[in-house]
Amino acid sequence: GLGILDNVKALHKTGKFTDGQLVSQKSDSTKDIRGDKITWIEGREPGCEKIRFLMSRMDDLVRHCNGKLGNYTINGRTKAMVACYPGNGTGYVRHVDNPNGDGRCVTCIYYLNKDWTAKEHGGLLRIFPEGKAQFADIEPRFDRLLLFWSDRRNPHEVQPAFATRYAITVWY
């Protein structure tokens, strides 16, 4: 995990991140909806060797699960979205990653936040399972890998983060 974090911090330091965008631009201000900075990584870029290693392990895990995911067959993946919430109280409002059947089945998130505590730093990922009254809060702790369905079964949000919060997301 430390090598991956070093790759991500180097990308951040060299200005590779830009404001996160929305797939469906229905708001005048994207910042009201999401406050992260992102960059897209294929895995072959110089200085991203550890990110490439992570992506290959994610690929292995999803390949192992393929055929065991109900009616879903995984046919590929996106580039890795490396995200940084700058720690100024920004988050990402409740949303669904794939509301319109764009082919993404599984969201895979790897967290890179050392010594993170929700009470001090915020930044929880809150998942609202479809049809349920309760929700699940996930702390974005260092070296944690999270997978969930990308469709309407799992609306989720990133609550305001008050420390720099890094995550790498790949969709399959």
CATH number of the domain within which 131 lies? 2.60.120.620
Average pLDDT (107-132) is: 96
Structural domain includes residue 26: no
| pLDDT of 22 higher than 70 | no
Q: What residue numbers bound the domain in which 111 lies?
A: 2-21+34-171
User: CA Rg, the chain, in Å?
Assistant: 16
Structural domain includes residue 90: yes
Scanning the structure block, which residue is given the tokens 């999803």? 62
Q: For residue 84, what are the CA distances in angstroms to 8, 131, 134, 165? A: 9, 31, 28, 5
Structural domain includes residue 29: no
Burial 108-121 (b: 16+ CB within 10 A, else e): bbbbbbeebeeeeb
What's the pTM? 0.91
The torsion angles phi and psi of 68, rounded to 5 degrees, stand at -115, 15
Structural domain includes residue 28: no
Average pLDDT (46-52) is: 97
Structural domain includes residue 138: yes
Number of domains, the chain: 1
Structural domain includes residue 146: yes
CA–CA gap between residue 48 and residue 40 (Å, rounded):
11
Strand partners, 37: 19, 84
